[in-house]
Amino acid sequence: MSEPVQAAVAGVLSTQDQALLDSWLDALWLEDGLAAPSLAAYRADLTALARWQAARAEGGARGGLLALTAQALRDFLDHRWQLGDKPSSANRRVAALRRFFRWAVREGLVTEDPSLPLQRARQAPRVPGTLSEAQVLALLQAPDTATPLGLRDRAMLELMYASGLRVTELVTLTLLQVALADGVLKVAGKGSKERLVPFGQEAAEWLSRYLTQARAEILGGQRSDDLFVTARGGAMTRQMAWVMVRRHAQTSGITVALSPHTLRHAFATHLLNHGADLRAVQLLLGHADISTTTIYTHVARERLRQLHHLHHPRA
């Protein structure tokens, strides 16, 4: 049995394919600054492809990843579709294949890119869940600010809603990234791309109260550069922040489905409803492509109807 087939049976990659993936992922990290979750997803996609190709070698297929043809890639995507891939998963695989073979062509490992003919699956528009302004107010007021942890939670919720940060961006903030007097955060977003994000006076006041009245007490004499801390002396985690949001949502009587992005969605939605420009919202959210920001436009339909009624001569 050949090495690729042995690898497929053993559930591991051939030495050649493993080295290829390692080199490609190193290039993505160094050149594009992709975050660990994105790199892990790409590795999983190409690993699945390599194992599928290795299993085909038992029936006479040639070589590893670099021997794949456009038809083989289509066959692989069809195979994954039969296994239940959703359009979003299929499109992520297509993106991974395109990036891998574009890199392989650039490095002179192949002469033609077999991923070029691949088509993206049709995908229904992704509609983010959000909260009304009244629900956000109830959520913000849920923590017991008479306690240090409640004051921390209120400051976190206020800052999330005021800035539209991703949860990961919020929990990884350090003291040096906060210009409290100027009301500005220096945020390292996806791909380690930095942006300046403003926040309002209300969030600044709660953040100031947390820093002066609660943070040191939570740390209990421990030292940390992290902005939002726990009694263990370390930073909050994404999971802890999500549990915190869900707990206060239950306290405030919010029964709609929540996600870790709920306040980020509410931030964008309410900005648009109050007349903000889509490009400005794109910059505040840190979206590289405005097409990502357009998922929020459906929630601003009422605002658009009001503008039409107000300005169109035939309204």
Q: 92-127, pLDDT tens digit by residue? A: 899 899 999 999 999 999 999 999 998 887 755 555
> Residue 198's beta-bridge partner residues?
184
- Residue 1's pLDDT is what? 35
Whether residues 294 and 162 fall in one domain: yes
| Residue 217 in domain | yes
pLDDT in tens, 15-49: 888 888 999 999 888 887 777 888 888 999 999 99
Domain identity same for 91 and 137? no
Query: Is the domain of 72 the same as that of 175?
Result: no
Domain C-terminal end among 88, 106, 124: 106
Query: Which domain covers residue 100, as residue numbers?
Result: 3-106
What is the model's pTM? 0.58
Burial class for 134, CB neighbours closer than 10 Å (0-12, 13-18, 19+): exposed
Q: Is the per-residue pLDDT at 315 higher than 60?
A: no
Last residue in a domain, options 60, 91, 106 = 106
End-to-end CA, the chain:
75
Is residue 116 in a domain? no
Residue 9 in any domain: the answer is: yes
Query: Are 296 and 282 a contacting pair, CB within 8 Å?
Result: no
Q: Are 111 and 66 in contact (CB under 8 A)?
A: no
Integer Rg of the chain from CA = 24
| 117 belongs to a structural domain | no
Q: What CATH number corresponds to the domain at position 86?
A: 1.10.150
For residue 103, what are the contacts with CB-CB under 8 A and spacing of at least 6? 24, 27, 28
4, pLDDT greater than 50: no
CA–CA separation, 151 and 154 (whole Å): 5
How far from 133 is each of 17, 57, 194, CA to CA, in Å?
A: 51, 58, 29
Residue 189 amino acid letter: G
Q: How far apart are CA 254 and CA 269, in angstroms?
A: 18
Is 173 contained in some domain?
yes
Residue 162 clears pLDDT 80, i.e. is over it? yes
- Whether residue 290 contacts residue 279, with contact meaning beta carbons closer than 8 Å, is answered with yes
Does residue 216 have a pLDDT over 60?
yes
With 0-12 CB in 10 A as exposed, 13-18 as middle and 19+ as buried, what is 122? exposed
User: Do 179 and 39 belong together in one domain?
Assistant: no
Same domain, 189 and 75: no
**165 and 72, same structural domain?**
no
pLDDT at position 277 over 80: no
Torsion of CA 37, 40, 44, 45, to 10 degrees: 70
> Structural domain tally of the chain?
2
pLDDT at residue 14 is higher than 90? no
pLDDT at 3 over 50: no
Give the ranges where the chain is alpha helix by DSSP (H).
3-10, 15-27, 36-56, 70-82, 87-106, 133-140, 148-163, 167-171, 201-213, 215-219, 238-251, 262-273, 278-285, 290-293, 301-311
CA-to-CA distance for 312 and 315, rounded, in angstroms? Answer: 5
Q: How confident is residue 53, by pLDDT bands cut at 50, 70 and 90? A: confident
For residue range 184-206, list pLDDT tens digits in order: 888 876 666 778 888 889 999 99
197 and 165 Cβ atoms separated by less than 8 Å: yes
CATH number (domain holding residue 267): 1.10.443.10
Q: Calculate the average pLDDT of the chain.
A: 82
Local confidence band at 225 (pLDDT 50, 70, 90 cut-offs): very high
In a domain, 126, yes or no: no
Q: Which residue has the higher pLDDT, 304 or 241?
A: 241
Question: Does 123 reside within a domain?
Answer: no
Residue 156's pLDDT is 94
DSSP state of 29: I
Residue 253 has pLDDT above 70, yes or no: yes
**Statement to judge: residues 82 and 143 lie in one domain:** no
How are strands ordered across the β-sheet holding 178-179?
178-179, 184-188, 194-198
- What pLDDT shows up at residue 123? 58
Q: Does residue 176 have a pLDDT over 90?
A: yes
Whether 101 and 145 share a structural domain:
no
Cα gap 118→115, rounded to integer Å: 6
Q: Are 138 and 266 contained in the same domain?
A: yes
Residue 222: phi, psi to the nearest 5?
Answer: -80, 160
Question: Domain check: are 182 and 277 in the same one?
Answer: yes
Long-range contacts of 232-237 (CB under 8 A, 24+ apart): 235/171, 235/172, 236/156, 236/171, 237/171
Structure token pair of residue 54: 């290795």
- pLDDT score of 226: 93
Report whether 138 contacts 256 (CB < 8 A). no
Burial (0-12, 13-18, 19+ Cβ within 10 Å), 86:
exposed
> Residues 277, 150: one domain?
yes
Q: Looking at the domain assignment, is residue 124 inside a domain?
A: no
Which residues does the annotation mark as catalytic? 166, 190, 261, 264, 287, 296
Residues 86 and 162 in one domain: no
Q: Tokens in use for 31? A: 């050149």
